[in-house]
Amino acid sequence: MISSESQYTKLRWICTFLGLVLYLVDVWTDIVLGMTYFIARDFVWSGLTLLFMLLGAVSTQIFSYAWYRDDMRNVLINPDGNSRISGMSKCGLTLLHLSGMGVFTRYYHLLKKGGRAVWSDNTMEEKDQRLRLFCLATDLSMLKLFETFLESAPQLLLQLYIILGHNYRSTTQYVSLVASFVNITWSIVDYRRCLRRSLTHVNEMPSGLPLTVYMLYKLLTITSHILSYTLLLVLNIYSTIAMLIIWILGTIWAFWLQTNFCTSKGLEYLYRAIVGVILAFTFFNVKGQHTRSAMSVYYVFHILVNLCTPVLLLLLRPEVKDTEFLLPVTLLIDVTTVLGILCLVVYYTLLHPRENTRQSDEVDGQYIEPRSADGLTRFLQP
């Protein structure tokens, strides 16, 4: 049973609202940037910009719809077998998600119901309602994580490649870069806090220094990897094949671990493919097991890629040594790699919340069943 302390609070309501604002800003900047490229007749860049936005949106709509349908069939959530959930029929649910409004609907219902609950009297009934609302918030947190690595991270990579590789700069690009970076920051921290708070066998992540160091570890390592990928693209556009191979390896690993996250086989395959995308940018504990060896191998490979990419670029394309970006980008890769690994070591050595049972990072699978024992939370509970 999920901890009674994991309730929907006023702070969580504010975080939900801010998350919606960031989501809207990120979508708006992508649309504006895509249209700007289109007007400038840069059709390939316009298409890729909008494609990444649609990829994240479609994937999150699919999972959102599937989770609503799962809740309809769950006797603990819907004991009467009603054909409506959150005021929506099956037909309405389908139309909402086909129109791309499924995730926005989740935000609307959560903000509306959550606003009533967090400022009401603290009765036992309201406590139960707040617990259920927190579990709904964890669904949004997971959807946001998917959207971040399917849209924001690739978008950041694409725009950096356009700026560095083609010397094409605009204010809209920089706004998009900032929006994507903030979106990545927010989704990682929000997901991490929801995860630790919803697991009864681990201690909640404390605020302050531990949260700051964890956030820096993630952001610095992701930033260094995105910059390295950018230089690979500058080296040769066919470097996308190498990035595709990295995604395939991550997906194969998810298949090899036999994740058990979804209630349908097709959706499980999609989830494993998304895990492959996430692993292309950062480490993700797919099965909730001891991962010291796997994490060590991952970040050794991470360091090798980051250190070798500038050297390869200089050796294979010596003309880039005269560009204004090579030296600062190389220094930024080196600094963010070193600081990111240092933050990783400090966090897991000194600041990681300890517990008597085995520890986990981001988890699913054998520690997390697709349907929880209490029927309230989907993925953040053993």
Reply yes or no on whether the pLDDT at 32 is more than 70: yes
Tokens at 224, concatenated? 């260094």
Residue at 156 is within a domain: yes
SS (H, E, C) 124-171: HHHHHHHHHHHHHHHHHHHHHHHHHHHHHHHHHHHHHHHHHHHCCCCH
Reply yes or no on whether the pLDDT at 200 is more than 60: no
Q: Output DSSP code: residue 349.
A: I
pLDDT at site 206: 61
Q: Is the dihedral of CA 379, 199, 254, 333 positive or negative?
A: positive
The C-alpha atoms of residue 364 and residue 377 are separated, in whole angstroms, by 12
> What is the maximum alpha-carbon separation in the chain?
70
Question: Which residues are CB-contacts of 257 (< 8 A; sequence separation ≥ 6)?
Answer: 286, 287, 365
Place of tokens 């240092």: 342
pLDDT > 70: percent of the chain: 80
Q: What is the pTM of this model?
A: 0.85
Helix (H) or strand (E) holding 84: strand 84-85
Phi, psi (deg, nearest 5) at residue 362: -85, 130
Residue at 199 is within a domain: yes
Residue at 365 is within a domain: no
Burial class of residue 131, CB neighbours in 10 A (0-12, 13-18, 19+): buried
Tokens at 240, concatenated? 């996308």
Query: Is 257 within 8 Å of 364 (Cβ atoms)?
Result: no
Query: Is 291 within 8 Å of 285 (Cβ atoms)?
Result: yes
Residue at 375 is within a domain: no
pLDDT digits (tens, 9 = 90+) for 77-115: 666 667 777 777 788 888 989 998 888 888 988 888 888
pLDDT > 90: percent of the chain: 35
Place of tokens 């009401």: 120
The C-alpha atoms of residue 367 and residue 382 are separated, in whole angstroms, by 4
| Phi-psi sector, 204: left (phi>0), alpha (psi -120 to 50), beta | beta
pLDDT at site 289: 62
| Alpha-helical runs (H) found in the chain | 10-39, 43-73, 90-98, 102-118, 124-147, 153-166, 171-198, 209-235, 240-256, 265-279, 292-316, 326-346
pLDDT digits (tens, 9 = 90+) for 274-288: 999 999 999 887 766
- For residue 88, the SS3 value is strand
Residue at 379 is within a domain: no
Reply yes or no on whether the pLDDT at 2 is more than 90: no
Reply yes or no on whether the pLDDT at 128 is more than 50: yes
How many structural domains compose the chain?
1
Reply yes or no on whether the pLDDT at 366 is more than 80: no
Query: What's the mean pLDDT in 298-310?
Result: 92
Query: Is 32 within 8 Å of 130 (Cβ atoms)?
Result: no
Residue at 271 is within a domain: yes
Helix (H) or strand (E) holding 89: strand 88-89
The C-alpha atoms of residue 124 and residue 121 are separated, in whole angstroms, by 9
Residue 16: domain span: 10-351
Residue at 361 is within a domain: no
Tokens at 14, concatenated? 């504010």
Residue at 374 is within a domain: no
Mean pLDDT of the chain: 81
Place of tokens 């929000």: 190
pLDDT at site 19: 85
Angle at 22 between CA 21 and CA 28, to 5 degrees: 90
pLDDT digits (tens, 9 = 90+) for 141-172: 889 999 999 999 999 999 999 999 888 888 88
Q: How far is CA 153 from CA 40, 65, 94, 179, 246, in A?
A: 24, 24, 28, 11, 15
- For residue 85, the SS3 value is strand
The amino acid occupying position 357 is T
The C-alpha atoms of residue 182 and residue 162 are separated, in whole angstroms, by 20
